[in-house]
Structure 1
């Protein structure tokens, strides 16, 4: 990263300055509001454990077939990737459904192993998680510092949005089924990969247009520096959320990006008496 790029990314000497003039806050989920372990172990684990059972029970439903079609379309884009699993069209033979289902299972497991952020996979996972949340086999998890700060922002009439690679439905399920109950009332909207990849500047430009706010009045919190860079290029204020379990930052990234270890650092001093502002 050049000196000019580093200077342009580090645009606040005090984390509280990040909120100056901010009207909209956009939050990532994994590693930001929610532990990575919840996503990797609980949510992804649920899909791996119940995948075959879910497909067998829901195969004939329109929603499931729409998901399979989206996954099949994605395989056409992935055909040149090593290990990619094709999903054949279902034939009239009785044995066809089981063979196609097996291909879907293998395809989903391959996509998950590669940690692909494609809409077809995220949509399918969201539909599976809906069953898990409804049956209370899955409960949304947040870092303890998140909810009090979200409530404070809402009381100040700041608009709060989620932007995650997980589908909008998956986002609503997570925040709608937490140990604190439904938190959906605090959010003004949700964005997923349908608006664009999180590492592309254009995605954040589209979000600014959707929320009808000047980019300079939007703060984006994420644990991924590539996402923060793209958001900054679109004019957003940005900060990296440093959590236990997140990928460690390099020395260059530490020098180049605003960082917080807790959402409480973005509360005024009078709201957190023991909090000390951290110079970056």
Structure 2
């Protein structure tokens, strides 16, 4: 019996192209000026201090941090500091109306249907929790944040690590086999299954490799209330 739905974002609820072609370039272009303008902000300095502690580098000014992070954006590094700073930049983009987050056509109705049926919905993405809330708050389907009971990011661990899903299960407060995890990445589903979660692979383009997980092409084909 599925009692909780935990969903990925990119390739699952939303197109990877929106993230790759809109969000990442926007953050890369805005990062130098953002760091220069907000260098003394407590939230920015908290992330800079985390980088200094991790890397053992002085990172004395905004230019040094920008030089470090620009290649990380190109590589789509799943680094907590990068994701936090990207989220701060994306906040301005969403609120200024520069873009809206893409949602696959059937996703909003399916989320509302599950929510109305009493299923708690959670998000687990490599993007920061703040970025996740912006994503669902400023979507092409409007503000969907009221449908979700909580959000998880890389502070819970990497998405291809079984222990991350054990931490999430403990935070949600139910048995792992009562949680259905939705993702387009087989390795993430493997890790979730190793932690005892139910899994379903979203194969939006019909190119998914053979795997041991149930496979669907969209949310309407997921058998839930």
| Cα distance in 2 for residues equivalent to 1:74 and 1:138 | 33
Aligned to 2:22: 42
Q: Deviations over 1:202-241 (max 9, x none)?
A: 1111111111111111100001111100100111110111
Aligned to 1:249: 208
Greater Cα radius of gyration, structure 1 or 2? 1
2:94 to 133, 139, 143: 133
Residue 212 of structure 1 pairs with residue 168 of structure 2: no
- CA positional deviation for 1:60: 2.2
Task: Name structure 1 gaps, 5 residues minimum.
Answer: 1-20, 77-85, 91-99, 272-280
Aligned to 2:214: 258
Q: 1:115 to 1:74 in 2, by over 3 A?
A: farther
Aligned to 1:113: 74
| Greater relative contact order (Cα < 8 A, sep 6+) | 1
| Cα distance in 1 for residues equivalent to 2:59 and 2:17 | 36
| Cα distance in 2 for residues equivalent to 1:112 and 1:233 | 30
Q: Please list, as runs of the form range in 1=range in 2, the aligned pairs for 1:15-30 lying within 5 A after superposition.
A: 21-30=1-10
| Cα distance in 2 for residues equivalent to 1:195 and 1:65 | 22
SS in 1 for 2:167: helix
Give the TM-score normalised by structure 1.
0.76
Contact preservation (8 Å) 2:184, 2:202? yes
| Cα distance in 2 for residues equivalent to 1:151 and 1:217 | 19
Q: Which deviates more, 146-155 or 114-123? A: 114-123
SS in 2 for 1:188: strand
| Cα distance in 2 for residues equivalent to 1:46 and 1:105 | 14
SS in 2 for 1:213: coil
2:161 to 193, 200, 220: 200
- CA positional deviation for 1:159: 0.6
Q: Deviations over 1:10-61 (max 9, x none)?
A: xxxxxxxxxxx10000000011011001111111011111111212221222
- The Cα RMSD (Å) is 1.7
Q: Deviations over 1:237-267 (max 9, x none)?
A: 10111123x9x433xxx25221110001025
Task: Name structure 2 gaps, 5 residues minimum.
Answer: none
| Cα distance in 2 for residues equivalent to 1:74 and 1:259 | 39
